[in-house]
Structure 1
Amino acid sequence: MTGVMLIDSVTGLTYGGAGTNAPDPVECGRITAVVGNGLNAAGAQGELESIVITGSDRQLVIATVPRQGDPLLLTAVLERGRANLALVLRRLNNYAAEVTG
């Protein structure tokens, strides 16, 4: 991971972050809203869990952290050739559980 951030999905307020390649918090909120609305329009049930955006050398992972009020987003930027995406998704889900637990 080259950058991580915990943000409010609606306001873009950053609660914490680390690394050199943190994503834009407001854009992460917008992406999550667009994808969530698209899933709802397609008839999907339940809340959005995560989004993975893959580029030629980087991946952006956005995991939602449900809570009372606006959800949080736990984001990670990965070097595509060096990261294990499945492991990152698992760890983000574990961290999300710690944030809400």
Structure 2
Amino acid sequence: MAIASRFIIVSLIILLVFLVGIVLLQIFLSRRESRWPGLVLPLLTFLSALLLPLNVMDTGSVSENILLAVVTLLAGNIPTLPLAIFLTCSNNINEDCRLASVAS
């Protein structure tokens, strides 16, 4: 039992480090001069979320299948949150550029 508890704790720490690394990478890419690097991670997560409804099993009812596919698509787009980081960082950069152009 102690081994399983340690394994879970270590796994959660590794997952947390991985997620923090992804967020820091997204912030770094979003602050670049070009806007395309900041869109790479949100685009990858969105494309992977489009593939998730293809894995939905047939439940027998058409309405249940459609509802399950929609819920799967919405839940699969939760990792697209780096897009919010991108929009926040790119707006800050745009405001800095506007302030610099007004000041000069």
Larger Rg belongs to = 2
TM score, norm. by length of structure 2: 0.27
The structure richer in strand per residue is 1
TM score, norm. by length of structure 1: 0.27
The structure richer in helix per residue is 2
